[in-house]
């Protein structure tokens, strides 16, 4: 397989272990992932914890079964929660950063509390742990103020923007916010495939990004068709819930 291709574990690789848990991050390391992603939000007392929050509903019920929003719970209560159908606790950001420091496995944090405040808290933690080169911030273009504020606080921290609109000018958007990485799709690249079938422009847009030294990734991918389509168009990284499965699809493409 091409050595430059990165394989990245979505929520730690949620098909392999309970999402956003230390167990899932350990599994990502075992699976040979090049990086992992996890969701970070703030408790009532402003402690950063790793839970996927349904932003529209401000709910953690799907992730933990808890009926109360994480923003209404102090850390003393959140740390008692378990991920649904598991005995795995909700990690604190400090635990994740300890894991990154001990393994050097790159971590992308996606803020689920949509405020500048969470960036202030997270960036301070990253700096205190000495992990500026091993932890980045990732989110959607619609929440780009979180990425620009990260760069304002520390330009060395990498940022990654999720683009879901195939009609947009990718390079202009990425350049405007100074992002280092771009991820197409996030919930699969299908909308980009449909658009490209008509306009045949995706490869050219990817080439422009790569020429500007922006790292181009796709995800999160589930099928062999997704993998082959993205690789055929020059994408250099694949986000996945199951890293070994996606690796096998990529290896078959390069054979």
Q: Where does residue 84 rank: exposed (0-12), middle (13-18), buried (19+ CB within 10 A)? A: middle
Delineate the domains of the chain, giving CATH numbers in brackets.
6-42+106-254 (3.20.20.190)
Phi, psi of 68 (to 5 degrees): -95, 135
Question: What is residue 7's predicted lDDT score, i.e. its pLDDT?
Answer: 98
In angstroms, the Cα distances linking 237 to 20, 31, 65 are 20, 16, 33
Summarize pLDDT for 95-139 with one digit per residue, the tens.
Answer: 999 999 999 999 999 999 999 999 999 999 999 999 999 999 999
**Is pLDDT above 80 for 220?**
yes
Q: What is the pTM of this model?
A: 0.95
Average pLDDT over residues 240-251: 98
DSSP state of 91: P
């Amino acid at each position: 397989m091409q050595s430059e291709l990165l394989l990245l574990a979505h929520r730690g690789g949620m098909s392999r272990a309970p999402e956003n848990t230390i167990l899932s991050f350990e599994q990502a390391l075992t699976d040979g992932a090049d990086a992992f992603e996890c969701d970070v939000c703030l408790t009532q007392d402003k402690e950063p914890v790793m839970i996927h929050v349904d932003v529209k509903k401000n709910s953690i019920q799907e992730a933990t079964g808890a009926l109360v929003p994480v923003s209404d719970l102090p850390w003393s209560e959140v740390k008692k929660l378990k991920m649904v159908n598991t005995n795995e606790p909700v990690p604190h950001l400090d635990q994740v950063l300890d894991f990154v420091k001990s393994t050097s496995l790159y971590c992308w944090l996606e803020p689920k509390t949509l405020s500048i405040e969470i960036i202030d808290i997270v960036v301070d933690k990253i700096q205190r742990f000495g992990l500026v080169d091993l932890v980045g911030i990732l989110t959607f273009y619609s929440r780009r103020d979180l990425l620009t504020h990260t760069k304002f606080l520390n330009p060395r921290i990498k940022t990654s923007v999720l683009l879901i609109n195939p009609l947009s000018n990718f390079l202009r958007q990425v350049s405007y916010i100074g992002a280092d990485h771009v991820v197409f799709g996030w919930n699969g690249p299908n909308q980009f495939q449909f658009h490209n079938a008509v306009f045949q422009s995706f490869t050219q847009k990817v080439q422009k990004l790569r020429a500007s030294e922006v790292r181009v990734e796709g995800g999160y991918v589930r099928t062999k068709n997704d993998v082959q389509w993205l690789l055929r168009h020059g994408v250099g990284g694949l986000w996945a819930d199951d890293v070994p499965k996606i690796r096998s699809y990529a290896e078959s493409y390069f054979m």
